[in-house]
Structure 1
Amino acid sequence: MMRLSLFLPFVLVSSGFAENWPEWRGVGGQGQSTAKGLPETWSETSGVAWKTELPGRGHSTPVAWGEHLWVTTALEKAAKPEDAERRLKANTGDQPVTVLDSVSLRAVCVDKASGKILHDIELLNVKEPQWVHQLNSYASPSPIIEEGRLYAHFGSFGTACLDTMTQSVLWRNQDVQIMHENGPGSTPVLWEDRLIIHFDGSDQQFIAAFDKATGKLVWKTTRTGEMRENPQQRKAYGTPLMVTMNGQPTVVSPAADWLYGYAPDTGKELWKLPYGELGFSMSVRPVADDSQVYISTCFGKSQVMAVKYAGLKTPEVAWRNNKNAPKMCSPVLAGDLLFYVDDGGIVSCVEVKTGEALYRERLGGKFSASPILADGKVYFASREGVVTVIPAAREFKILAQNTLDGGLMASPIALDGALYLRTDKALYRIAGK
């Protein structure tokens, strides 16, 4: 059903848990899980194996390795009103924002079986950090985990590497700075010995790679596409996707107004493609099959685009669909179908070959989290704390709608026959009937 030949298989570990969830949107970064026997219905009083209140505030999606889950979070100290007013004079936008005196950026480890918090570790402490949009958080980019290492990125506030065995911070890098305007949002991608990260601010726009062993900058490539005059329309919060294009590993990188391809070892720009319409402030990650990449251009004149790359030196647009394009939620592939939900709760199912919509239906609620595909179903999580379950099929049907206390900004993860959901209050393991 799923064409995953481009990407790595699930990593097996020696513990009782067979699957890992190493990054936002899982293995391969496309929101697809091999988990089976997942629950369809639950509530605060039914189907919850455990619920753990988390310290601080954050929107990052949990990652999992072996018997442990890890999340990032932020402990906030509010700025005095007069200090906030002084600092906001540099703000070029008019969005509602949160201003802090300081923030402690942390990694929290949770036991997968019991939900017990095992570690709560400060990675970075930042004085007078940039403000963030009130819909955003100071810990929105998701961490990446591999055997023995956790990589946590917080935009201009810094990036850190944690030894998950000793709980010691191996390195920190706070040298790379941009003006986010609305706070950090881009999650890195890990490729061989490179941690590849977007830095698309209102002041400057580039992509960079850090050495994962030392945190030192390996390469930095400035965006070459023409930018809009309005600085608010230059910023972006997208996450790259690693794809093998015609035998070559390629970083598919969504930025304001342009989709880029880069060589991951050197940062060389391989190609770029204009959206054709205004597109900026995206917080999405593309998805791809063995011939096309699919992406939403988010704010501006929103559209979902299919970009054909198979057999082409320079990718080209195969189709566009400008109805109910998501501004914050990434799409998910299920064979020859593409599913996505817009911010207002309209779910679309389209043919990947043509972009033709098979249906558009209302789920209800508002959405920021990205859906996942698992066990033949698609799970959509809303800001109101409702997870809607539909079949990954051509006909629309709501199998269940399940409500938890607290809003869902983080994306679900699915492994070991269970769902793990992070609300703005707690982390849940949903398992059983």
Structure 2
Amino acid sequence: MRILICLAAAVLSGSVNAADNWPGFRGPNGDGVSTAKNVSTTWTETENVRWKVPIHDKGWSSPVVWGNQVWLTTALSDGKKFFAVCLDKTTGKVVFDKLLFTADNPPNIAQYNSFASPTPFIEEGRIYVHFGTHGTACLNTVTGDTIWKRNNLPCDHWRGPGSSPVVYKDKLFLMFDGYDKQYTACLNKATGDTIWEKDRKLPYPDNGDLKKAFATPSVFEFDGKAQVVCSAAVGTIAHDVGTGEEVWRVIHGGMNEACRPILAHGLIYLTTGHTSNLIAVKAGRTGDLTKDGIAWRADKIAPSRPSPLVVGDLLYVVSDNGVLTCLDAKTGKKQWQERLEGGKFSASPVSADGHVYFVSESGKVVVLKARPEFEKVATNQLDMTTVPADGGKVDVRCMASPAVVDGLLFLRNHTHLYCIGKK
């Protein structure tokens, strides 16, 4: 069986160096791994910061990078206006700041989320921005013009949207897992028209609050056939990308699942949301894999928000409260476990140039050597004291996952986007 990770830039443009672009949530292959070299491991507000630019209003989406553009989204904290913002990668100058959608009566999501949490997806000439049921749009990255818009994909997110869009060849995949509806939509990326839509038929409880999920799908190829793997509350389902027909499923329990599936060593790594379990599913199989398709599992160590990270033979999972566990990725055997500085963690970790980076909600960024033993290189602190110029209230948290491109590290806190790089 031949297995190939086929997400994002690797499919779209074989001539593009993955180290030069960060097209979507968790990078070129959706796994948080960068091939960039010479990435900074230490910085302060005055050292190794190329630029620091304020981003208006509130958004927890991660930055994406293509060429000399960096894009992210933001929204009014009350959810009445939704924006896409583009910056020049070299200077930090704002190139576009586009108001895309408005809402008259947005729900109250004062809980653990923002109205601009889904990370955009970018490719040559186009970017796809997504605000859950509040709107999805495709923009021309050269002119900033809107190519198409959709705001008729229904879902009561209840706690707000979180799942990011994913492009595979000519298709755009969106996941909706709310209080009332749970489904995956496949759109024609050129027009925004729906190609197929599949309800998530899982053994959900009656309480809609327990049906919520925030995970981003992943696309993998097995023997030349692509499938989109969609993790949700209660279970994970893989669909054929062309037809939407179910290929396999695993019932694993849990709710509030937000971690993205990743593939390595012939295994697909999944987490189970609030039940904190990690499972390794045997890749390339079909049918119900709940009983016979799980290679190994590790209970009570996994996060509900930060996605796992595989670097070589090592698998890292940092729990929501900052306990980092390193496992053998093939067997699940625990290598070590340490509590990281910084309190709570929501951002997904990244690896680059032999190091792994963990960003806490308090703005502490812990850098470790990517090796079987625990070896801390540095703890860096982002400025978390800045308040808006208008004196308004701000949710002081660092929630966005990093982007790593061309030796540069892009970090977003509650008010600013940082470009960090050796000078």
Letter in 2 for 1:103: K
Identity within the alignment, %? 42
Query: Which of 400, 410, 415 in structure 2 is aligned with 1:420?
Result: 410
Letter in 2 for 1:256: A
Corresponding residue of 2:401: 411
Counterparts of 1:54-203 in structure 2, within 5 Å, are: 54-76=55-77, 100=78, 103-203=80-180
Query: Which of 183, 187, 190 in structure 2 is aligned with 1:210?
Result: 187
Counterparts of 1:344-359 in structure 2, within 5 Å, are: 344-359=321-336
2-side partners of 1:4 and 1:20: how far apart? Answer: 23
Query: Which of 278, 282, 288 in structure 2 is aligned with 1:308?
Result: 282
2-side partners of 1:146 and 1:272: how far apart? Answer: 30
Query: Which of 260, 270, 282 in structure 1 is aligned with 2:237?
Result: 260
Query: Which of 220, 241, 255 in structure 2 is aligned with 1:280?
Result: 255
For the structure 1 residues 133 and 283, does the alpha-carbon distance in structure 2 shift closer, same or farther, using more than 3 Å as the test?
A: farther
Letter in 2 for 1:381: V
How far the C-alpha of 1:314 sits from its partner, in A, is 5.3
For the structure 1 residues 311 and 136, does the alpha-carbon distance in structure 2 shift closer, same or farther, using more than 3 Å as the test?
A: closer
Query: Which of 238, 243, 248 in structure 1 is aligned with 2:215?
Result: 238
Would you say the 8 A contact 2:218–2:229 is kept in 1?
A: yes
2-side partners of 1:412 and 1:25: how far apart? Answer: 8
Would you say the 8 A contact 2:43–2:380 is kept in 1?
A: yes
Corresponding residue of 1:226: 203
How far the C-alpha of 1:167 sits from its partner, in A, is 1.1
Would you say the 8 A contact 2:233–2:273 is kept in 1?
A: no
Would you say the 8 A contact 1:150–1:163 is kept in 2?
A: yes
How far the C-alpha of 1:421 sits from its partner, in A, is 0.6
- Unmatched runs of 5 consecutive residues or more in structure 1: 77-99
Corresponding residue of 2:347: 369
User: Which is further off, 380-389 or 244-253?
Assistant: 244-253
1-side partners of 2:3 and 2:381: how far apart? Answer: 32
Letter in 1 for 2:50: A
Corresponding residue of 1:20: 21
2-side partners of 1:215 and 1:131: how far apart? Answer: 28
2-side partners of 1:310 and 1:354: how far apart? Answer: 18
Would you say the 8 A contact 2:359–2:398 is kept in 1?
A: yes
1-side partners of 2:15 and 2:267: how far apart? Answer: 32
Structure 2 residue matching 1:284: 3-state secondary structure: coil
- 1:282-317 superposed Cα distances (whole Å, 9 cap, x missing partner): 111011115110111111x22011111246665411
Number of matched pairs: 403
RMSD, aligned CA: 2.0
- 1:78-126 superposed Cα distances (whole Å, 9 cap, x missing partner): xxxxxxxxxxxxxxxxxxxxxx3x5211111111111111110111111
Letter in 1 for 2:243: T
2-side partners of 1:188 and 1:115: how far apart? Answer: 25
2-side partners of 1:386 and 1:41: how far apart? Answer: 12
Would you say the 8 A contact 1:58–1:137 is kept in 2?
A: yes
Would you say the 8 A contact 1:290–1:310 is kept in 2?
A: no
Matched, 1:382 2:360: yes
User: Which is further off, 48-57 or 242-251?
Assistant: 242-251
- 1:20-52 superposed Cα distances (whole Å, 9 cap, x missing partner): 111010001111101000111111121111110
2-side partners of 1:265 and 1:132: how far apart? Answer: 34
Would you say the 8 A contact 2:3–2:284 is kept in 1?
A: no
Letter in 2 for 1:420: F
How far the C-alpha of 1:55 sits from its partner, in A, is 1.2
TM-score, normalised to structure 2's length? 0.91
2-side partners of 1:223 and 1:416: how far apart? Answer: 39
How far the C-alpha of 1:5 sits from its partner, in A, is 4.8
Structure 2 residue matching 1:387: 3-state secondary structure: strand
Would you say the 8 A contact 1:4–1:289 is kept in 2?
A: no
1-side partners of 2:186 and 2:149: how far apart? Answer: 14
How far the C-alpha of 1:135 sits from its partner, in A, is 2.3
For the structure 1 residues 188 and 168, does the alpha-carbon distance in structure 2 shift closer, same or farther, using more than 3 Å as the test?
A: same
2-side partners of 1:212 and 1:49: how far apart? Answer: 34
How far the C-alpha of 1:266 sits from its partner, in A, is 1.4
Would you say the 8 A contact 1:12–1:18 is kept in 2?
A: no
2-side partners of 1:192 and 1:131: how far apart? Answer: 36
Matched, 1:289 2:264: yes
For the structure 1 residues 290 and 352, does the alpha-carbon distance in structure 2 shift closer, same or farther, using more than 3 Å as the test?
A: closer
Would you say the 8 A contact 1:12–1:20 is kept in 2?
A: no
Letter in 2 for 1:390: L
Structure 1 residue matching 2:422: 3-state secondary structure: coil
2-side partners of 1:282 and 1:130: how far apart? Answer: 21
For the structure 1 residues 284 and 14, does the alpha-carbon distance in structure 2 shift closer, same or farther, using more than 3 Å as the test?
A: closer
For the structure 1 residues 51 and 13, does the alpha-carbon distance in structure 2 shift closer, same or farther, using more than 3 Å as the test?
A: farther
Would you say the 8 A contact 1:6–1:290 is kept in 2?
A: no
Structure 2 residue matching 1:127: 3-state secondary structure: coil
Corresponding residue of 2:390: none
1-side partners of 2:68 and 2:148: how far apart? Answer: 24
